[in-house]
Structure 1
Amino acid sequence: MGSSVPIEAATEEIEHDVWEAGNALLRPPSSPDELLKLLNKAEGILSGICQEPSISTAKAILPMMNALISDEIFKHSDGNVQVAVASCLNELTRITAPDYSYSDELMQDIFKLFMTALKQLPRGTGMNLSRAENILNTMATIRTGVMMWDLELDDMVVEMFELFFDT
């Protein structure tokens, strides 16, 4: 019979990992490849955090939340980085749902970034396609469309459905 790690220890490890990854992203590397490595790590950590986390986990996520919306990362020109950032923000949206992770204005920009990632569905390959599929799955699960309607993003909802029908 194998040993099991107590839940508290596992939670502390996740909190430590997400805090460290978030702080690393607050000082992003200039190389897109190095940034992608950090985003891949962040995405993996975030995917292991349950919805409505404990207060201590929510606090540990804050550096990550701040890093992902920094201009250096959120407005990065590399398409692969954009999709990876969208995927990380998608995980944060899942974790904090049904509440919004950020201000209404920023959520609108985040949903636009999700649309950028979803455009990978018809032509994407590899990680970008996988991330786009995960974003779509999470959007369906947490009813992101309803969140978009709440923010009166009617045109974006229509654009999203047009994308799906064209795919």
Structure 2
Amino acid sequence: MEQLPSATMMESMQPFLNAIVKPELLNHQDKDVKLLLVTCICEITRITAPEAPYSDDVLKDIFHLIVSTFSGLSDTSGPSFGRRVVILETLAKYRSCVVMLDLECDDLVNKMFSTFFSVASDDHQESVLSSMQKIMVVLIEEIEDIREDLLLVILSVLGRNRSDVSSAARRLAMNVIEQCAGKLEPGIKQFLVSSMSGDNKSENSHIDYHEVIYDIYCCAPQILLGVIPYLTGELLTDQLDVRLKAVGLVGDLSALPGSAISGAFQPIFSEFLKRLADRGVEVRMSVLERVKTCLLSNPFRAEASQIISALCDRLLDYDENVRKQVVDVICDAACYALNSIPVETIQLVGASSRQISTC
């Protein structure tokens, strides 16, 4: 049936519409009955869209049922997978999920987001993941003020080294953030600033804000513009462990393939290179490790001369391991792009190498 049926057709359908939402069906315990029920109701909402076919109380029960079916999307080979995908795609196509906001089903929206992230898999077809993304984007754009609990559901999926989150779920979260950057920016900035200042460490200790920054830089770097001063502060702090984490993060961002340090991020990159003279040997070695990756990923990058200059300043570092590592980094970079390094630099490296050997 097409949308917007005639009044006569609607009148003939009404007994079925009423029968399908009787309490004994809505509260049925059999999972197959629930799935078939949701399949029918999704067709009804498609046909009657944009008009809601039921009262608010009934609609709340219906959306609870719909969200409960999405947990089965994790079983891609199951016999009911196709039906669940149809339900998902129908909800995405006709934007009926927006009714959840009118019904003030905030907790249910959070649960649906969490379910999508928990079931998202690399085994899913792109159309399945795109339907999840569309539903989340529609809801975020329609919410007047993004609640912190919903934001944390999204941010909790981020992290490169998370063993408990699939790469598909992380990619899904990043795509949502990229598409809704303007709407999510104030909340993300507030979360990051609070985390960096230590205001909410106990509340959200399960979220590594450095990992959040890394992923956001990859998908929506403009969100981080207001966070740069705080990250610079971490590079300058007296706390060694914090400096090490900040150095690792900025170095990893600089070494991203194809990454070019934009004007807004240049100050923090310059401060990162200054950590080559940090009072902590661990910090200097960490910077050298990241600088090497940065140069080898692209020895012709715009910042190459700036990096080499900073390295040359450390050729006579008082720590022997640092001196050797500096020489190794410059020589490795020279092997990749000899012509990009000035002759006087190569000579300086050679002279310093001889001096290091005699020491």
**Which TM-score tier does this pair reach, normalised by the shorter chain?**
0.5 to 0.7
| Residue 111 of structure 2: aligned partner | 159
2: distance between equivalents of 1:57 and 1:121? 34
* Cα shift at 1:118: 1.4
Code of the aligned partner of 1:116: S
Residue 103 (structure 1) aligned with residue 55 (structure 2): yes
Code of the aligned partner of 2:41: L
Residues 91-120 of structure 1 deviation map (CA, whole Å, 9 limit, x = unaligned): 111111111110011101000010121121
Code of the aligned partner of 2:88: L
In structure 2, the residue corresponding to 1:120 is in which secondary structure?
Answer: helix
Residues 17-57 of structure 1 deviation map (CA, whole Å, 9 limit, x = unaligned): xxxxxxxxxxxxxxxxxxxxxxxxxxxxxxxx111111111
Contact 1:104 1:151 in 2 (8 A): yes
Give the alignment partner of residue 89 of structure 1, picking from 41, 46, 49.
41
| Residue 84 of structure 2: aligned partner | 132
Code of the aligned partner of 2:74: P
Contact 1:119 1:163 in 2 (8 A): yes
Give the alignment partner of residue 144 of structure 1, picking from 86, 92, 96.
96
Contact 2:26 2:61 in 1 (8 A): no
Contact 1:139 1:145 in 2 (8 A): yes
* Cα shift at 1:67: 1.1
1: distance between equivalents of 2:23 and 2:102? 26
Contact 1:117 1:131 in 2 (8 A): no
* Cα shift at 1:145: 2.4
* Cα shift at 1:71: 2.6
| Residue 117 of structure 1: aligned partner | 69
Q: Structure 2: 5+ residue runs without aligned partners?
A: 120-359
Give the alignment partner of residue 76 of structure 1, picking from 9, 17, 28.
28
Code of the aligned partner of 2:98: V
Code of the aligned partner of 1:155: D
1:57-68 equivalences in 2 (<5 Å): 57-68=9-20
RMSD of equivalent CA atoms = 1.3
Code of the aligned partner of 1:131: R
Q: Structure 1: 5+ residue runs without aligned partners?
A: 1-48
2: distance between equivalents of 1:77 and 1:68? 15
Percent identity over paired residues = 37
1: distance between equivalents of 2:48 and 2:37? 17
In structure 2, the residue corresponding to 1:121 is in which secondary structure?
Answer: helix
Off by >3 Å, runs of 4+ in structure 1: none
TM-score w.r.t. the length of structure 1 is 0.67
TM-score w.r.t. the length of structure 2 is 0.32
Corresponding residue pairs, total = 118
* Cα shift at 1:135: 0.8
Residues 134-159 of structure 1 deviation map (CA, whole Å, 9 limit, x = unaligned): 11101001112211112111211111
